[in-house]
A = this chain, B = another copy of it.
Amino acid sequence: MLKSIDINCDMGESFGNWKMGDDEGMMPYITTANVACGFHASDPLTMIDTCRKAKDHKIAVGAHPGLPDLLGFGRRTMNITPEDAYAYVVYQVGALQASLATQGMRLHHIKPHGAFYSVLKTSPELAEAVAEAIEKLSDHPILYWPAPTSAALPTACKKRGIRVVGEIYPDLHYAADGSLVIQRQKHETDVAFACAQVKRYVQTGKVEALDGSLVELDAESLCIHGDGPNSVEVARAIQRTLQDIGCEIKPVLQ
């Protein structure tokens, strides 16, 4: 059984006058935040504000860079070059590092968002470019990536000695090969399902796939969603589940 686990959540996804997610409501239940950097969501004010709130809640902050597509929320794949991918990570992570510096904080990790994640899953050229950027941007770089961490970007990161932290998604289903079955709409998350998945994983290191098989995964963090209709309820239930089985909730140390 895992003695402790990290809980991360995407945050800072408001844009100007448009609000998204209940960041303040979620913060008491998480240890790490992935903060959007202005390309698919967020803006300079929101980023600083999110860092400030994270500091108040003693939450570690990582960058959540996306493709330059506010209109599509970074969820549409775009045919970018490795040079683009490198520069987009540098620009966005730098903007967040400065936002963190205003609060006396430092960057914790990097986790690609949406369609940027998708293209970095499969393209070795884009992955190589992004791994190089991650290496250059931090003295203690960490990549967050959904377990199993055998995709293009985590592979490129490991080759460079960048630490890769695997994640489990409590509210998503898994296929027999350990891949996520993404059918997320903004419906309510099934609280019992999410808590059972968390409990099983923490106690056995395995998730149950859709075909009933058990799949072993290597993860140090749970990724929970903050923009669903019952996100805070889910977060609270997962917290209670972890407390009940004696698993401490604490951040990944850099």
Contact = CB atoms under 8 A, between A and B. Distances in A.
18 contacts: A15-B15, A16-B71, A16-B72, A17-B75, A44-B84, A44-B87, A48-B87, A72-B78, A76-B79, A79-B115, A90-B95, A90-B98, A93-B98, A94-B97, A94-B101, A98-B137, A101-B137, A102-B133
Contact of A101 (B75, B87, B136): B136
Interface residue tally of chain A, by bracket?
Answer: 35 or more
Given A102-B136, A136-B102, A91 B38 contact: yes
A73 B137 contact: no
Interface in A37-86: 38, 41, 43-45, 47-48, 68-73, 75-80, 83-84, 86
A125 to B, nearest CB: 15
Contacts of A102: 90, 133, 136-137
A38 B18 CA distance: 14
Interface of A: 14-20, 38, 41, 43-45, 47-48, 68-73, 75-80, 83-84, 86-88, 90-99, 101-102, 115, 133, 136-137
Nearest to A67: B78
Given A15-B71, A78-B78, A80-B76, A44 B97 contact: no
